Amino acid sequence: MILKGRGIARGSGTGPILVSPEPISFLSGVDPATGKIVEKGHPLQGESVAGRVLAFRHGKGSTVGSYVLYALQKNGVAPAAIINDDAEPIIVVGAIIAGIPMVDRLEVPVIRLQSGIVATVHGESGEVEYPGELCA
């Protein structure tokens, strides 16, 4: 199925989806050297974002988070793409400077996507090729 949203950052990225039920802070929440989520108590603590389509409602935290996304890309451990319910400036800037395809405002909330489904995000058109079933 094709899910339509709003294109934010250009390019296309394919990978297994990693859905976060909580917002993500890239500053001190994600290790820029390893790509692992290190925020204590976060539901995805210990998971890697590297090569995954990272789906989360929105970001949180400092503007330095934009540069952490850039560092993830430079270190080869960035997400393949990002999907947000509602993009905010910190994540948008980070995706753009890091060249990570990004979309938001899909027809369904990100929490309805299934982790592990391999999807393709098209940042220019705002479309997501999603071959799985949606969660209830």
Residues annotated as part of the active site: 62
Strands in the chain per DSSP E? 2-4, 6-9, 12-20, 53-56, 81-84, 102-104, 118-122, 127-129
Q: Please, are residues 120 and 94 in contact by the beta-carbon 8 Å criterion?
A: no
Q: Please, are residues 135 and 44 in contact by the beta-carbon 8 Å criterion?
A: no
HSE at residue 102, side-chain half, CA atoms within 13 A, is: 28
Distance CA 31, CA 24 (A): 12
Q: Please, are residues 3 and 108 in contact by the beta-carbon 8 Å criterion?
A: yes
Q: What single letter denotes the amino acid at residue 104? A: D
